[in-house]
Amino acid sequence: MLCCLPVPTVEIQRGVPLKPYTTFKIGGRAKYFVRAETVEEFREALDFARRRNLRVFVLGGGSNILVSDRGFDGLVIHPAQRGLAVASEDEKSSTLRVAAAEKWDDVVRHAVDHHWWGIENLSHIPGQAGAALVQNIGAYGPQLSDCLAQAEVLDMATGQILEFPPARCGLGYRRSIFNSTEKNRYAILGISLRLSKFGKPDLRYPDVAAYFEERGNSSPSLAEIRKAIIAMRDSKFPFPREEKGGNAGSFFKNLQLGEAEFQKLQKRVQKDFPHRAQERLAEIRRRYVGPGPIKVPTAFLMDICGLKGFRLGNAQVNETQPLVLLNLGGATAHDVMSLAGHARRTVAERTGMAISLEPEPVGFSAEEVAEYLNIP
């Protein structure tokens, strides 16, 4: 008797170049690629992968990944389900249900247009709404976790749809269960955000406070905050656009140090760096309001280590915001990982601090990543 595999109705493509799906504009091809418009299509794609024993990668807007020059030897599933609607509201708040493939910044614009507070400082972050939860995006003070009401996820092992309250998502600084303990287990189908109808401007971040102080505006509107954030972001590093190279935002995470580690860093800076660097570190310490770890900007470390503008191949450390590694045009993943390794080793040698990557390297083996980033 002839036995055959069921034919999937969802269109599964072969050999799809991933470069155009990333903001870095770097990377090889996916062995298989599928756009999943519905949960059923997602499940079918997972079945396809299971039957062929393929690894699966869920690709959102490609703004927090670096795809290897060899590409991805498995199935890439690209969520494509859109939708943005008020799920519930009361006199104080609106809860917005957002499908995973909505562009995050469209969600922010929608909230600002409707006078809902909570995510305005997260303006102009690229990528999809579902992926925003993966690393609990944050900028200029707030993080997504501040207004998350619920997440709807597909358990990729069982095919079940589950609803997770925020506590189940394990959210922290650039962290969730989705990029740590339960990575590759769940696909996020949608998120619900509780937004306030009567918020007030979040000006705790010094750059934001200074922006409005300079303009004598102590009570900016939502639209003014969004405009300010976009202007500040654009002045620091280029928003990736088709025609100009690319980047993946911050390539390294900021350091979260305990008191003892901070002291260690301070001693090293006092010993090996000019007075100006010591003053800047003291200022970072002054700004810290506990409890919790002391946030030390990795950009500060990269700056004092002379990494601004450093170039390898066609990849370069950004001059104004050195956390960002730039594809100057035609950079390979090898260029970027070599540059990241150089930056990591330089910072470790000169300050004793180990900095870690923010974007996910995709299609690299663990050994390759370790070799690029190795600190002797």
Ligand X SMILES: Cc1cc2nc3c(=O)[nH]c(=O)nc-3n(C[C@H](O)[C@H](O)[C@H](O)COP(=O)(O)OP(=O)(O)OC[C@H]3O[C@@H](n4cnc5c(N)ncnc54)[C@H](O)[C@@H]3O)c2cc1C
Instruction: Identify which of residues 144 and 296 has a Cβ nearer to ligand X in the complex.
Output: 144
The residues with which 123 forms a beta bridge, in sequence order, are none
CB of 215 to ligand X, least distance (A): 22
Q: Which residues of 229-257 are buried (b: 16+ CB within 10 A; e: fewer)?
A: beebbeeebebbeeeebbbbbbbbbbbeb
CB of 247 to ligand X, least distance (A): 6
Beta strands in 199-290 (DSSP E): 246-250, 255-257
CB of 323 to ligand X, least distance (A): 10
Residue reference for tokens 């770890």: 293
CB of 137 to ligand X, least distance (A): 3
Q: Distance between CA 84 and CA 67 in Å, rounded?
A: 30
Q: Distance between CA 233 and CA 321 in Å, rounded?
A: 10
- The residues carrying an active-site annotation are 174, 250, 358
Distances in whole angstroms, Cα of residue 201 to Cα of each of 37, 95, 209, 225, 324: 37, 19, 10, 8, 27
Instruction: Identify which of residues 3 and 85 has a Cβ nearer to ligand X in the complex.
Output: 85
Rule CB under 6 A: which residues touch ligand X? 23, 57-65, 79, 100, 125-128, 130-132, 134-135, 137-139, 178-179, 187-188, 239-240, 247-249, 360
Instruction: Identify which of residues 80 and 209 has a Cβ nearer to ligand X in the complex.
Output: 80
CB of 221 to ligand X, least distance (A): 22
Burial of 122 (0-12, 13-18, 19+ CB in 10 A): buried
CB of 216 to ligand X, least distance (A): 27
Instruction: Identify which of residues 118 and 240 has a Cβ nearer to ligand X in the complex.
Output: 240
C-alpha triplet 204, 209, 213: angle, nearest 5°? 150
CB of 190 to ligand X, least distance (A): 9
Q: Distance between CA 356 and CA 238 in Å, rounded?
A: 22
The residues with which 21 forms a beta bridge, in sequence order, are none
* Residue (of 323, 329, 337) closest to 251 by Cα position: 323
Instruction: Identify which of residues 239 and 273 has a Cβ nearer to ligand X in the complex.
Output: 239
Instruction: Identify which of residues 96 and 188 has a Cβ nearer to ligand X in the complex.
Output: 188
Contacts of residue 325, defined as CB under 8 A and 6 or more positions apart, other chains included, come to 247, 248, 251, 315, 316, 317, 318, 336, 339, 340, 343
Q: Within the chain, what is the greatest distance between any pair of CA atoms?
A: 81
Q: Distance between CA 28 and CA 321 in Å, rounded?
A: 27
Q: Distance between CA 347 and CA 349 in Å, rounded?
A: 6
Instruction: Identify which of residues 74 and 240 has a Cβ nearer to ligand X in the complex.
Output: 240
